[in-house]
A = this chain, B = another copy of it.
Amino acid sequence: MPKKATAQETALKSVRKMLASGKLKPGQQIIQDALASRLGVSRVPVREALKTLQAEGRVIHDPHRGYFVAELNAEDLSEIYHLRSILEDEAIRIGVPKATPADVVAIKGFHDEGLAAAAKGDVNQMATLNRKFHMAIYRLCNEERLITMIENLWDSLDAYRVLFLTDSSNRERTNDDHAQMIQAVKQKDVKESLKIQSAHREHALKTIKHLLSAFAQTD
């Protein structure tokens, strides 16, 4: 049986979910007491969960003032996407040549599930599967630390990803790109994989920046 998780572990999971779903919004203060009683635990494990998120850059800690959900400006977004391109390109260079037919089937599986979610209009599920799809490709490189870093970067963008997938044209484009990507991986074509991924990212960055500046005006 899976042994019981500690309060801090469940707290961390919950807060991650709240960040991803937008229940906690960028810039917002996280009142420890409110969060703790919401989760039915004391403030101590909540604080430990927040410390982890702070180290990952997802929340900002201002001593004696508290924890705030990290806010990304256009420059931050550029930096994160830049880091993603550096690390993801490397993961592809190492991993794609090693892709087995079974790997391709697994990757295609996530794509197919994603299409189903898209048909049902379940944006949250789409986001989850989109991530699984891409991470399955990066995981081919088999370098644990590299993979973890890429995951952290994706985490930082969680709050902004929902924004992106809200637009149906983005959803369509995403699915098209994925289909192309599967072909490239299947053929172990590193160069083509890099090209598709890069275009995919650039489009997302541009769109999110655009949405962000539109959003900023209404503040």
Contact = CB atoms under 8 A, between A and B. Distances in A.
Interface residues of A, number: 27
Interface in A46-104: 47-48, 51-52, 54-57, 63-64, 76, 79-80, 82-83, 86-87, 90
A167 interface: no
Interface string A130-156: 000000000000011110010000000
A44 interface: yes
B83 A86 contact: no
A44 B44 CA distance: 8
Contacts of A177: none
A63 B80 CA distance: 32
A6 interface: yes
B149 A83 contact: yes
Most chain B CB within a 10 A radius of its CB, from A44, A51, A64, A87? A51
Q: Is the interface of A mostly helix, strand, loop or mixed?
A: helix
A9 interface: yes
Stoichiometry (number of copies): 2
Contacts of A145: 57, 76, 79-80, 83
Interface in A26-61: 44, 47-48, 51-52, 54-57
B64 A6 contact: yes
B63 A9 contact: yes
Contacts of A80: 145
Contact of A143 (B44, B55, B82): B82
24 contacts: A6-B63, A6-B64, A9-B63, A44-B44, A48-B51, A51-B51, A51-B52, A51-B55, A52-B54, A52-B55, A55-B55, A55-B56, A57-B145, A76-B145, A79-B143, A79-B144, A79-B145, A79-B146, A82-B146, A83-B146, A86-B86, A86-B87, A86-B90, A149-B149
Given A55-B56, A79-B146, 7 more contacts: A5-B63, A6-B63, A44-B44, A48-B48, A51-B52, A82-B143, A83-B149
